[in-house]
Amino acid sequence: MTRWLSHLPLRRRIALAYAGLNAVGLLALIAFALRGLV
Amino acid sequence: MPAGLLILLYLFAALLPLGLAWAQGLEPRSIADELASGAGILALAVILAEFLLLGRYRFVARRVGTDIVMRMHQLLARGAAILAVVHPFLYTTRRAPAPDWDVNRQFFVMNDFAAIWPGMIAWLLLPALVLMAIGRNALGYRYETWRLMHGLGAALIAGFGVLHTLRAGRYSADPAMGYVWLALLGIALFALAYVYVFTPLAQLRRPWTVTSVDPVAERTWEVTLRPARDFAFRYRAGQFAWLNIRNTPFGPHENPFSISSAPSAGPEVSFIIKELGDFTRTIGSIQPGTRAYLDGPHGHLTVADHKAPGIALIAGGVGIAPMMGILRELHAKGDTRPTALIYGNRSEAQIACGDELESLTREHGTRLTHVLCEPPASMACKLGLITPEILRDHFGNAEHRAWLYVLCGPPAMMEAVEEALIALGVPSSNILSERFSYD
C-alpha cells in the first residue's frame, strides 16, 4: 500500500486525497440525514 | 505541520457544525429535510474553511506545498457549491412562517423573506464565483480584476451564508451553534484580512527598489531588487514570492514569481519573468529605482532540506527560474553532489541566461542538456520534447532512484516527466514540483 502510494504521480495523490475528503463528508451527511432511522 | 494533521484539522472544521447540529438532539424530520439542512450546513462550513486554503499561510502550506493547498481550495469549493445549490430543493416539509407552537421547526421550513434573501444572494454568487474561477483564462479577465472579484465575492458569500443560516436554520437557532458560525466567519474574514490588510501593512515597512531589469532571453527578463531599508529577507533557493512593482501593497496588484537568485549571494533578490500576461508584458519598461513589495518566501521547491546523493533539475521555458536559484546556490555553497540540468525550450532564443548556464554548469560539473523543438544546426542538443527516452538516458541507473528531482515548467511537461521518472523507479517523494494550473 505504502509503496503503491509512493509511486503515484502528484495529480493522482491529490485526486485520492480529494476523494477521501469527499467520502468522509458525504458519509457524515448521510449519517446525519439517516439518524432518525436508528 | 504534517499533512495528516492538516487533513484532520480541516475535517474537524468542516464537520464541526454538522456535529453540533446532531448533538442538539432535536427530533429528526424526514430524511430529505435532514439531508437538505445537513447539505446546507456542510456547504457553509466548507466555504468558511476555504479561506484557510489560500496558500498564503506558511503554517498550512509549508509541509503540503502551496500549489497543493490551492488545488484543494479549487476542488473543495466545487463540492461545496454543488451541496449549496441543491440544498433548498431537497426540503419536502411545508414552507411557511413557523407558528409559535412549532418552536423546534419540526413541521415547517422557514420561508420568511428576511431569512431567505441572504441565502438567495449567496446561492447565486457561489456557483458564479466557482464558474468564474474555473473559466478565468477563457473569460479573459485581467488577473487583478479577477482576484479582486474573487476575494470580494467570497467574503459576501460567507457573510450572507452565515446570515441566512442564523435566520433560517433550524439547528443554527441554537445559541451555541450560532456562536460557532460567527467564530468561523470571524476566522474566515481574518484570514482574508491577513492577505489583503495585515500583509500589505507589513510590506510597507519592508519596501524594495528595482536595481536592474535585464533581458535574458526572448521576451524574458531578470528583475533584480534590493531592500530599500535595512532588513533581511530570508529564503531558500528555488522558492517564490508574490511580487508587486509600482503599486501600493494594498490591492490585487501582485503576482507569484520564482526567485532566481541565490540566498548566499547577498541581500538582492532576482526573478526571471517571461512576458505572458497583462503585468508581465510591461516588465521591460520598468525603470531602476522603481518601488516594489514582496510577500514571501513561499513554496517548497527547494533542495536545502534534502540529503539525496544527487540532484536533477528538469525545466521547461521560464521554469528555469527556480533552477537558476538552486544551481547558483549549490555552486556558491560548494555542494559536491552530482547534478544534472535538462532544459527544454522551443528555440535557442528562448534559452534564458544561456552564457551563465554554460559557465555555471561547467564550473560546477553539472551535466547540462538542452532540449529544443527547433534547434539551430550548429547546436549540440536533444531534439523535440523532454521524452522518457531522454530521462532514461540520464537517470536510468539504479543509483539515480535515490536522487532528488526538481521539476518546473508547463503542466503537461511536468506530468509527462513525473510519470516517466516514476516508471524508472523514482519514488514520488523524491520528485519536487510546483504547478499553479490544473484545469
d(CA B114, CA B186): 22
Identify the residue whose cell numbers are 446546507: B40
A23 near B CB under 8 A: no
**Substitution target from A7, A8, A10, A13 for chain B, most B beta carbons within 10 A:** A10
Nearest to B371 by CA among B431, B329, B313: B313
Q: Where are the domains of chain A?
A: 2-37
> How buried is B199 (Cβ within 10 angstroms: 0-12 exposed, 13-18 middle, 19+ buried)?
middle
pLDDT at B113: 84
Residues whose CB falls within 8 Å of the CB of residue B309, separated by 6 or more in sequence, listed in order: B337, B338, B399, B402, B403
Return the pLDDT at B136: 81
- How near does any CA of chain B get to the CA of A13, in Å? 10
Q: Identify the segments of chain B with pLDDT beneath 50.
A: 438
**C-alpha cell recorded at residue B150:** 474573487
Question: Residue B433: which H helix or E strand, with range?
Answer: strand B431-433
Contacts with B46 from chain A: Cβ below 8 Å: 25
Return d(Cα B439, Cα B435) in angstroms, integer. 11
**Is residue B187 within 8 angstroms of chain A, CB to CB?**
no
Write down the pLDDT at residue B68. Answer: 86
Residue B377 pLDDT: 78
CATH code: domain B208-298 is 2.40.30.10
- For the domain made up of B3-203, the CATH class stated in words is mainly alpha
| Residue indicated by cell numbers 497543493 | B68
Look at B427 and A7 and tell me if their CB atoms are within 8 Å. yes
- For chain A, the maximum distance between any two Cα atoms, rounded to a whole number of angstroms, is 43
Low-confidence ranges of chain A (pLDDT < 50): none
Rounded-to-integer distance, Cα B378 and Cα B374, Å? 12
Q: What is the pLDDT of residue B143?
A: 80
Tens digit of each residue's pLDDT (9 = 90 or more) over B156-213:
999 999 999 999 988 998 999 999 999 999 999 999 999 889 999 999 999 999 999 9
- Say what the ipTM of the complex is: 0.92
Q: Which of B35, B428, B438 sits opposite A29 (nearest CB)?
A: B35
- The rounded distance, in Å, linking the Cα atoms of B266 and B233 is 10
**Domain assignments of chain B as residue spans, ordered by start:** 3-203, 208-298, 311-433
Contacts of B5 in chain A (CB under 8 A): none
* Contact flag A29-B38 (C-beta cutoff 8 Å): yes
Q: A22 to chain B: which residues are within 8 Å by CB?
A: 79
Cα B36 to chain centroid, rounded: 32
Output the pTM of the full model.
Answer: 0.85
- Shortest CB distance from A33 goes to which of B31, B427, B433? B31
Instruction: Using a CB–CB cutoff of 8 Å, tell me whether B25 touches chain A.
Output: no
**Full strand arrangement of the beta sheet holding B240-245:** B255-258, B240-245, B291-298, B208-217, B220-227, B269-274
Instruction: Estimate the share of chain B in helix, then strand, then coil, as percent rounded to the nearest 5.
Output: 50, 20, 30
**In CATH, what class is B311-433?**
alpha beta
| Alpha-carbon distance A9 to nearest alpha carbon in chain B (angstroms) | 6
For an interface test with A, which of B29, B171, B428 has the most A Cβ atoms less than 10 Å from its Cβ? Answer: B428
pLDDT score, position B97 = 67
Q: What pLDDT, on a 0 to 100 scale, did the predictor assign at position B107? A: 67
